[in-house]
Amino acid sequence: MTGLGVLAFGDSITNGGGELQWGVALQSWALWVARGLALPFTSYAVDGARVEDVVERQIRAFERLTGGDPRFQVGCLYIGVNDVRSPDWDAVAFEARFRTALRFLSARCERVLTVTAPLDLGRPLAADKVDALDAVIERVAGEVSALVLDLRPWGARNLVMTDHVHPTAFGQIDIAERALAVLERDGVRVLVHPSRMIVYSPSWRERLKGDVTYAYRHAKVSARAAWLQAMVGRT
């Protein structure tokens, strides 16, 4: 492969950052992918971004700063989580912009990797809208021969925060491991797996504290989701 490394667009999941998890830093899954491939990493991901932000801000920033000509080995695009959780979700409008973003990456990267959203997304659940989002992602990826990391069944207590949206530090690493497996099946040589780059050894007190904190935060999120659903039911 030849190029400038890994290029990423997206929202807070790709931007990374947040609480340590047993001393392990919360870093972007795309950054872990770059580290696993021993490649430089360039990201334009921004917290809270939606697909229009990728097209109208992130891509334009890339063009403004680089001239739009650089070539990369791998392009990463994970977007749609904020879109599908919004009351104004529009699958048709999303598809048009998503196609623009994926084609932009495909024209500048040897390989492009995009990601579907977990079905167990958010509280209250995004429900059937996630199916529509993932169908768009897979359809457009097929049009431009992009690789797809399927996260529809993804999620676990230690991988996802209590909002059921944002990955934990270990969740980011797990996504990266899965992404690297997709790339490896497509002929990319993986030099090191992210799970081998970290060291952690929590005590039983730290594990107990983590469990209690998670239970408390999860209860708050669940209570708020139930209240929101009740309010919607009254309208």
Residue type at position 189: R
Does residue 76 surpass a pLDDT of 80? yes
- Taking residue 58's Cβ as centre, other Cβ atoms within 10 Å add up to 23
The per-residue pLDDT for 201 is: 61
H helix intervals, 69-108: 81-84, 91-106
More confident position, 214 or 178: 178
Task: Using alpha carbons, list the distances in angstroms from residue 131 to 56, 136, 213.
Answer: 25, 9, 31
Q: What is the 8-class DSSP label of residue 196?
A: G
Structure tokens at 185: 């099946």
The per-residue pLDDT for 221 is: 47
Does residue 61 surpass a pLDDT of 90? yes
Q: What is the mean pLDDT of residues 113-125?
A: 91
Does residue 15 surpass a pLDDT of 80? yes
- Using an 8 Å Cβ cutoff, are 55 and 97 in contact? yes
The per-residue pLDDT for 233 is: 56
- Using an 8 Å Cβ cutoff, are 148 and 154 in contact? no
Q: What is the mean pLDDT of residues 107-132?
A: 92
Averaged confidence pLDDT in the chain: 88
